[in-house]
Amino acid sequence: MKKYLNEAIIGNKEIKVGLTEKGEIIRINHSNMDFRGLIEFLHMGIKVNDSNIIYLHDDSNNLYRQDYLEDTNILKTEIKNTYFNLLIEQTDFVCLNTNAIIRKYVFINEHEIPLDIKFLVHSKMKTDDNNYVSGKKLENGLLQYAHDYDMAIIANELKCIGHKIHGADEAINSGILEDKDYIGMTNNSAVSFEVGLLNPGEKKEFNIIIFANENNDKNKLEDIEEKISKLGKLDVKKELQTAKTYWRKYVKSHMAINFDVQNVYMAKIQQIYIRTILLFPLLTNQTTGRNFSCNGSR
């Protein structure tokens, strides 16, 4: 089994998300951090003009730069595709009061030609003989659910233009997803959205919202979809500001050591100290008090 390391972690009291240095989400844990994660993989990519899919986390033409926003658990990954001269700013955070993972995107066309862009999401959830996963297209995205949890991927600012419930592995490479509207017993599905035509120098902003929900009340499908529809009313700018304020206050209230930041060495130690303060609440099960490892196999 291949081992994947979390280069970064974001989350709230219930949801913890592990990411690589290239911005790939490699695990999502809900509530009980001592239990298994929800996903096998969650890959995001783009189709530009007539290209095949270009994965944001894995392309030979991509250059990466990543860091947290200062004194927060908000992660920013800058992805530059040098073939199309397309700059992508990806900001990841988890809302504090709802189990929504926000991926805020800014696409900037730095090429001399127009770029027609489509955004694709390929999601494979964990499943077993006692907990089969189903997939269902939503008006603005994709719903995957089992009897005890569900996950939705929606993009309210973009038009949903394609999906593939079964056979996503075979279809995803072309970047063209065509399927009928039905519910399928599969844990491996994909969905695509229209970003649109970006002229040279033009930029486009949009949000991908990933909702991870534990069905403790054994909700009906209609109840799950009603919860998801409310996510469309999330004020992402407000949620982002709320997260910034919360984490910066958290750091301030836990700073027990004063560092001489005029000293380069001590300034570096302070950065490590602050990152440790921010990391520990994300490694703790809020119910049991146990910590879970940053590493592990998936």
Which pLDDT score is estimated for 298?
Answer: 39
Taking the model in full, what pTM does it have?
A: 0.91
C-alpha span between 76 and 105 (Å, rounded): 10
Please list the ranges in the chain whose pLDDT falls under 50.
Answer: 1, 295-298
Which pLDDT score is estimated for 263?
Answer: 87
Which pLDDT score is estimated for 287?
Answer: 67
**Tens digit of pLDDT for each residue in 67-77?**
999 999 999 99
The kind and range of the H/E element at 177 are: none
Hey, which residues does 137 pair with through a beta bridge? 142
Topology at the third CATH level for domain 8-283: Beta-galactosidase; Chain A, domain 5 (2.70.98)
**Tens digit of pLDDT for each residue in 109-135?**
999 999 999 999 999 998 877 678 888
